Amino acid sequence: MIQFVKSDQWKVGEEEVCRKLGVDWARTGDGFSWLSDDLERSAALAKAAWTLAKETIEAGRHQLVVLDEITYPINWGWISGEEVARVLRERPERVNVIATGRDAPAELIEVADTVTEMRKVRHAYDQGVRAKRGIDF
């Protein structure tokens, strides 16, 4: 799991469980971009995360690599969508990749085997219900 946005300051349940199961986990971002005081630093972190992701995919040691919220740094121009698509296209056959995030760029959609788009119909947060530990994080 390589998370492109979440920072190492966040404590999330899925990471705790996955680490107990032996999943390699890297939180490489610095949080929500709209809260960033230094977008150049945020972009540099995204580029470093992509380097880690690329090396992980190309090494072929994992059967599954999750690129959590990679669509955002691609859409913001921080990492090359064309390069991401090339690496996915040329990945070792046994390596499966899941790329998440809203508004997937065309080059990512073109190389994907499956594309799913989720949309909110209703969400508790809109009614003032805050995220709950153990359920939402």
Between 136 and 83, residue with greater pLDDT: 83
Angle between helices 81-89 and 39-59 (to 10 degrees): 10
Burial 30-69 (b: 16+ CB within 10 A, else e): beebeeeeeeeebbebbeebbeebbebbeeeebeebbbbb
> How do residues 100-132 score in pLDDT, each as one tens digit?
999 999 999 999 999 998 888 999 989 999 988
pLDDT for 17: 82
- Interatomic CA distance for residues 130 and 137, integer angstroms: 11
pLDDT for 19: 77
pTM, whole model, 2 decimals?
A: 0.82
Q: What structural domains does the chain harbor?
A: 2-127 (3.40.50.300)
pLDDT for 85: 98
> How do residues 4-46 score in pLDDT, each as one tens digit?
887 666 677 787 787 788 878 777 767 666 666 777 888 898 9
> How do residues 58-114 score in pLDDT, each as one tens digit?
999 999 999 999 999 999 999 999 999 999 999 999 999 999 999 999 999 999 999
